[in-house]
Amino acid sequence: MPFFDQVQLAPPDNMYELKLKADPDRHPDKVDLGVGIYRNEHGAYHELQVVRQAKEHLAAENPDHDYEVTTGNADFVRLAARLVFGKDSAVLTASKTTTVQTISGTGAVHLALLFLSRSVPNMSRAVYVGVPAWGNYKPMCELVGLDFNAYNHYVPSTGLVDWESVLSAVRSAPRGSIFILQGCCHNPTAADFTQDQWVVLAREMKEHDHFPVFDVAYHGLGKGLDEDIFSVRHFASMGFEALVCQSFSKNFGLYGERVGALHAICANDKAARAVHDQLRFLIRSEFSSSPAFGARIVTRVLSDPGRETAWREEIASLQSRLQLTREKLRHLLCEVHKTPGNWDIITHGTGLFSLLPLTPEQCRVLQDTYHIYVVPTGRITIPGLNENNVSYVAKSIDEVIRASQQS
């Protein structure tokens, strides 16, 4: 008898569909603002100089292609933890943390949720996420048997966090609930908590005994490497147990190498050892071990003070360009075209994205008529803009909005 005849189509994926349409488009005016990668001024992949040099050194050494240990290269996980918690972190010196290598940030989030669902007795099944959010959170929760609960994160009219909604969710959720929190460069809204809000949020979550899962996918591309990780370090100083999902895709440009880590902050070293062993078991049961090459590049850079300093300087230059690009797009829409709408939201945000006030139909017109690829929600990837195309994009957005208002 046939087995697959009753298989249903999976839910659609906007990013998958957008990339299928954007990649083969060879129109000279094409602008891809969809997939979240950092592009240079020529619209191409941007390779960091320190990454290029690390690759050259690795090529000269010609390391073997043996499997990494299940939980990841020991030097890599040590350096990844140091980058998150700081060189002199109390939780590191007290051996209250444990780290494993993952298949980038996506794999870290999945492993974190799988661990909470399967390995932590009496852990709540309720997961709370501020929306709009990264589209993978909901299916990831459902995949491991956790209950996804949404609350509003964003005020479109201001481009800022819906602070009252956040506090209401924290105060009304059942005690011990799981909250997924993006540490910086919120995807897709670009609306981050201020440091003062993080302090209040930590106090409220502590009072209600909630468990934080931090997703840190864009570390260094918001306000700076130290500023972007303030939330994690503050929660750690408050004595929270927590999970921290770390990606090196964006801040090292290692998208295809899938380099990430999952950190657990525990109450003591005994708990840290048990958590590490459970994570080892889950990794071994699911994908055995993580890719080695990208982790070797990160290790080569972060293990050398000179290379790390050069990397930090390069990241600062990328962050500066992102902010300048935001200012340019806002200026064109507000001051040059005087496009209807509140475009100050563009410069209120940080990181790779901006959630523009565009309807799905307006996004479709931008794609079909102007060859400008935007996620149907209105999310654009800021580094997809450059001096050669930002004026064209702003003019096209203005035309589409005015045409839709007239119709």
Q: What are the residue ranges of helices labelled H in 238-373? A: 249-252, 269-286, 293-302, 305-331, 345-348, 360-370
Residue 208 has pLDDT above 90, yes or no: yes
Note whether residue 256 is domain-resident. Answer: yes
Q: Are residues 376 and 334 in the same domain?
A: yes
Is-contact 327 354, C-beta < 8 A? no
Distance in angstroms (rounded) separating the CA atoms of residues 259 and 237: 27
Residue 1 has pLDDT above 80, yes or no: no
- Give me the number of domains the chain comprises: 2
SS3 per residue for 135-161: CCHHHHHHHCCCEEEEEECEECCCCEE
Q: Are residues 138 and 254 in the same domain?
A: yes
User: What integer best gives the mean pLDDT of the chain?
Assistant: 94
CATH of the domain at 145: 3.40.640.10
| Confidence bin at 236 (pLDDT 50/70/90) | very high
CATH of the domain at 390: 3.90.1150.10
The better pLDDT of the pair 237, 36 is held by 237
The helix (run of H) or strand (run of E) holding residue 112 is: helix 104-119
CA 339 vs CA 200, 259, 331: distances in Å: 37, 41, 10
Distance in angstroms (rounded) separating the CA atoms of residues 275 and 265: 10
**Euclidean distance between the first and the last CA atom of the chain, given in angstroms as a whole number:** 54
Residue 40 has pLDDT above 70, yes or no: yes
Note whether residue 311 is domain-resident. Answer: no
Note whether residue 5 is domain-resident. Answer: no
Q: Are residues 275 and 191 in the same domain?
A: yes
DSSP one-letter string for 26-65: --TT-EE--S---B-TTSSB---HHHHHHHHHHHHH----
What is the average pLDDT across 54-83? Answer: 92
Q: Are residues 393 and 280 in the same domain?
A: no
The helix (run of H) or strand (run of E) holding residue 4 is: none
Of the three residues 275, 303, 331, the one that is the final residue of a domain is: 303
The range of the structural domain enclosing residue 21 comes to 14-46+316-406
Q: Are residues 39 and 154 in the same domain?
A: no
Distance in angstroms (rounded) separating the CA atoms of residues 161 and 154: 5
Note whether residue 174 is domain-resident. Answer: yes
Q: Are residues 158 and 275 in the same domain?
A: yes
Alpha carbon 218 to its chain centroid, in Å, reads 5
Q: Are residues 256 and 354 in the same domain?
A: no
Q: Are residues 245 and 353 in the same domain?
A: no
pLDDT in tens, 70-85: 999 999 999 999 999 9
Neighbours of 243 (CB within 10 A): 24
Q: Are residues 155 and 290 in the same domain?
A: yes
Of the three residues 303, 333, 361, the one that is the final residue of a domain is: 303
Note whether residue 396 is domain-resident. Answer: yes
Q: Are residues 138 and 281 in the same domain?
A: yes
**Strand 242-247 with 211-216, pairing:** parallel
pLDDT in tens, 157-195: 999 999 999 999 999 999 999 999 999 999 999 999 999
Note whether residue 60 is domain-resident. Answer: no
Q: Are residues 90 and 135 in the same domain?
A: yes
Note whether residue 255 is domain-resident. Answer: yes
Rg (CA), the chain: 22
Is-contact 355 156, C-beta < 8 A? yes
Q: Are residues 131 and 221 in the same domain?
A: yes
Of 341, 346, 371, 344, nearest to 358 by C-alpha is: 341
pLDDT in tens, 243-268: 999 999 999 999 999 999 999 999 99
What is the average pLDDT across 359-364? Answer: 95
